[in-house]
Structure 1
């Protein structure tokens, strides 16, 4: 009898602690604001003139209601899981989506655009939203938010929001290694520095607009993406990655970390975190069975070796039945389960400081 009562009391305490934890997170972070590329795009590309879209089946087949929202995934993406972890809504809506308005955006908004990068020349490749335009949208959002909530409350949300920034992959894989212009201007080390100068300017502008809590994600293991393995015939049908690309990712991430450390020391009141997801992503790819995955060297959608966007479509007979047993959904993007694992890792390892 006493044991059962004690057990019930302990369970009650655990539930109360969980509720307090989530509530505290929501109090400290009233909104999640997202900048970046397809790793975090909630569907902005649906509403611009570009071929880089994913608002059709089988994208979104494991999303709520089976809806293809424009997320490059079978389900949710990291900002959705991070928002939920902070006690906010389980979805961060796209700013250009007409189904949402400022009442929805008050607790989270996504300005990201698939295919973009730090370098404006990267966004030109597939005519997507450049980073400077994402910043312009943020300025519009600030004005609308303050009009909706009032100046004081709007400023409070802007200052206390968590800013998620995920960029850089397309600068290398879509631009530097695919086109000649930047390679004629820079070696890879100098191109990294070129991107980091743009990144620094962007972070400073965000700070000037009121942002104080920033999480910056670096590059993934680029050489392990199925599309890159297949393109260079290195491990596309096996277990190898392009290590030269992975070395670039690690080098860039180290430089990004140094930049973040410098800005933390220089900008009063800022708290910037370099949320490096490289290690967990690489571990998922190299040791998938430890995380319950079956396949990590090719993707679920279509053949899994090179298809993404319109090549990943509902008419392809090769798409797998259980996407979340695959590390990758399409040849470039993680499955929902991978996104959830990465988001959980990032929250527990880095973002807990904002809770």
Structure 2
């Protein structure tokens, strides 16, 4: 009976996800393009030509269209793709450095996010990935190319009517603070405040380049990641999640302050923390069997052609030691869009 109830609940939630996506597709029409900045949550392949921070090898991409590893830290699509898909913009979002980028790709948006990057300048240099300052420069280069294709006025309209996503703070807290030197310079609350200052400054720079509609992601739930859990199926780490919540609350306040400063813009906080906690704490209710380890990698990153990858990623909340599976992302994205789309009207 319990098994049947869980199955029925799973079906109802799947229908709800589809319902929310239909709402998103109908509500779009005003988003001309999509752009993503920040870290691996949104990275669609910017690291493929780097010496570090790469994941353009199997089993990554195992469930992506064409079953190819594209540099996404997932078994399939990530939030950049899923939000673009839900809003009817495009099915997948290419990275700006994709070698065979087409004119149509430029007109509807590209990804600048780089796995391992952070809003703290120290983070990207530590991990050897594309810093957010460089992502901003790439965006400036992109605008120049867009003007060449569409003309200056149309290019301005595309940028102003696009949805700009940003995800930062995950690597900054995990790498530069918890495992790095920043804790010698800042208390944790002070570091979170500094991250928010850097983040709002970055958003101001995007605003100055013509962007007007922003979806700013919270951090993930650090304490629920396989890397933070003990063996034996323990619960999420409350201490790690409290740290994430502290930063997310400050970020939300910083975005609200920036919104007051720029009433012609729409700056919306995308809370991915809460739905991920709900899923990881109650996996069976969402149709998952495992929330304690990654489908590949277990409690580490996926190794090339790993023979230990699970046969069905849809039964796992996490793909590797920190990144959710596509199925998890789909549930999160549905939750976020259902709660925030009206804010852009």
TM-score by length of 2: 0.91
Give SS of 1:146's match: helix
Partner residue, 1:42? 44
Aligned residue among 25, 48, 54 for 1:22: 25
Over aligned residues, Cα RMSD in angstroms?
1.6
Give SS of 2:292's match: coil
Give SS of 1:110's match: coil
Distance 2:240 2:282 in 1: 19
Matches within 5 A, 1:1-355: 22=25, 25-26=28-29, 28-48=30-50, 50-179=51-180, 181-229=181-229, 235-302=230-297, 304-305=298-299, 307-308=300-301, 311-314=302-305, 316-354=306-344
* Structure 1: gaps of 5 or more residues: 1-17, 230-234
The Cα shift of 1:118 comes to: 0.7
TM-superposition CA deviations, 1:226-278 (whole Å, max 9, x none): 1233xxxxx23322332221111111111111111111111130110011111
The Cα shift of 1:101 comes to: 2.9
Q: Give the number of equivalent residue pairs.
A: 325
Distance 1:212 1:192 in 2: 25
TM-superposition CA deviations, 1:10-57 (whole Å, max 9, x none): xxxxxxxx999736513x001011111000100000022x32111010
Q: In the alignment, is the contact (CA less than 8 A) between 1:111 and 1:138 conserved in 2? A: yes
TM-superposition CA deviations, 1:45-70 (whole Å, max 9, x none): 0022x321110101101111100000
Distance 2:83 2:32 in 1: 12
TM-superposition CA deviations, 1:160-198 (whole Å, max 9, x none): 10001111110011221112x211100101110111111
Give SS of 1:140's match: helix
Distance 2:179 2:23 in 1: 49
Distance 2:37 2:246 in 1: 22
Distance 1:40 1:278 in 2: 15
Give SS of 1:321's match: coil
Distance 2:175 2:23 in 1: 44
TM-superposition CA deviations, 1:138-172 (whole Å, max 9, x none): 11111110110011110000001000111111001
Q: In the alignment, is the contact (CA less than 8 A) between 2:22 and 2:86 conserved in 1? A: no
Give SS of 2:294's match: coil
Q: In the alignment, is the contact (CA less than 8 A) between 1:29 and 1:354 conserved in 2? A: no
Q: In the alignment, is the contact (CA less than 8 A) between 1:93 and 1:105 conserved in 2? A: no
Q: In the alignment, is the contact (CA less than 8 A) between 1:215 and 1:351 conserved in 2? A: no
TM-superposition CA deviations, 1:302-339 (whole Å, max 9, x none): 4x12x21xx4331x332110011100001110001011
* Structure 2: gaps of 5 or more residues: 1-20
Q: In the alignment, is the contact (CA less than 8 A) between 1:216 and 1:273 conserved in 2? A: yes
Could you list the runs of 4 or more consecutive aligned residues of structure 1 that deviate by over 3 angstroms after TM superposition?
Answer: 18-24, 352-355
Q: In the alignment, is the contact (CA less than 8 A) between 1:165 and 1:215 conserved in 2? A: yes
The structure whose Rg is larger is 1
Q: In the alignment, is the contact (CA less than 8 A) between 1:312 and 1:330 conserved in 2? A: no
Shift of the 19–237 alpha-carbon distance from structure 1 to 2, 3 Å rule, reads closer
